Amino acid sequence: MNDRKLKQLFTLAQKQAAPAPPADFATDVLRALRGEPPARAPQTLSGFDQLNSWFPRLALASSTFIVLCVALDYGLTAAGVPSLSDGVSQLSAQWLLTPTGL
Amino acid sequence: MNSTETTGDDAELLERILGGATDDFAELVRRHQSRVFAILHRYERDAQKVEDLAQETFLKAWRALGQFDGRAPFEHWLARIAARVALDHLRKEKRRQNEIGLPELGDDALDWLRSDDEKNELDVRSAAELLELAMRELSPADRMVITMQELEGRSVKEIAVAMGASGVAVRVRAMRARSKLRQALEKLANEKL
């Protein structure tokens, strides 16, 4: 395939006429976009809106974290390791509820 | 009316549309529809699909109308949206074509492809079919560069803006794409022997 033939191919293909838009094309487009307002310039979201949009994901992440902590606590207790709640009680007894503690 | 309306006319119309005169969008569509159809037809030969893609182009333009800043003519902005719609379409088609294989090529096109005789002529339709088939071997981005450069006669700068690439990247891609296209045409000529 030499350059001359390639150029000839492009020249011929250029001549192919595009299909004409149907007479009612603009009406069809208008029908399709009915009820859909044109987008204005990008709006800035308030902090509350952003938080609102993040809420489902944050709620899911928090729930997952809580479930994982509970499962870990049960797992450690079953394995004989002092559970997290025991640890916290021990800590309070040693440091917080002693006469020298807070 | 046609796509050669001045930007001033479009600006007034756009102002009315953004002010709530939704029906005036039909006038904007009528002004630019021929140009949009012409652009999309470079990437898709099926008339029904071209119409669907044109509709998608105008809907995208409608949704993004508030972002048009009026610094460039509206038709240039619209042409960029049409090019993006075409590129997305090529990507989808590329995946589909890998599954269904290639259509047959006519004898006239094959004869022309194999012949070295300059007198051997090819009709416009066969040329478009042949080019379409060879272009399928290219990546969507390569095809877009070749189409814009060779069929639409756009400058490297225009292509770079439309594709969001640098001028150098467009030049390099165009050179590689042309080479791949040549190979694809040679492959077509040899495969059918």
Considering only CB atoms, B55 lies closest to which of A8, A9, A28, namely A28
CB contact under 8 A, B124 and A32: no
Q: How confident is the model at residue B34 (pLDDT cuts 50, 70, 90)?
A: very high
Select the more confidently predicted residue: A9 or A91: A9
Q: How confident is the model at residue B31 (pLDDT cuts 50, 70, 90)?
A: very high
Find out whether B94 and B135 touch, Cβ atoms under 8 Å.
no
ipTM: 0.77
CA-based nearest distance A44→chain B, Å: 14
User: For residue range A20-62, what is the model confidence (pLDDT) as tens digits?
Assistant: 999 999 999 999 888 666 555 455 567 777 777 788 888 999 9
Contacts of A9 in chain B (CB under 8 A): 122, 127, 130-131, 185
Find out whether B45 and B90 touch, Cβ atoms under 8 Å.
no
Work out the number of other CB atoms within 10 angstroms of the CB of residue A33.
20
According to the model, what pLDDT value does residue B2 have? 43
Whether B150 contacts chain A with CB within 8 A = yes
As given in the structure block, the two tokens for residue B103 are 């259509």
Q: pTM, whole model, 2 decimals?
A: 0.68
CB contact under 8 A, A29 and B127: no
For residue A25, what are the contacts with CB-CB under 8 A and spacing of at least 6? Answer: B29, B33, B51, B54, B55
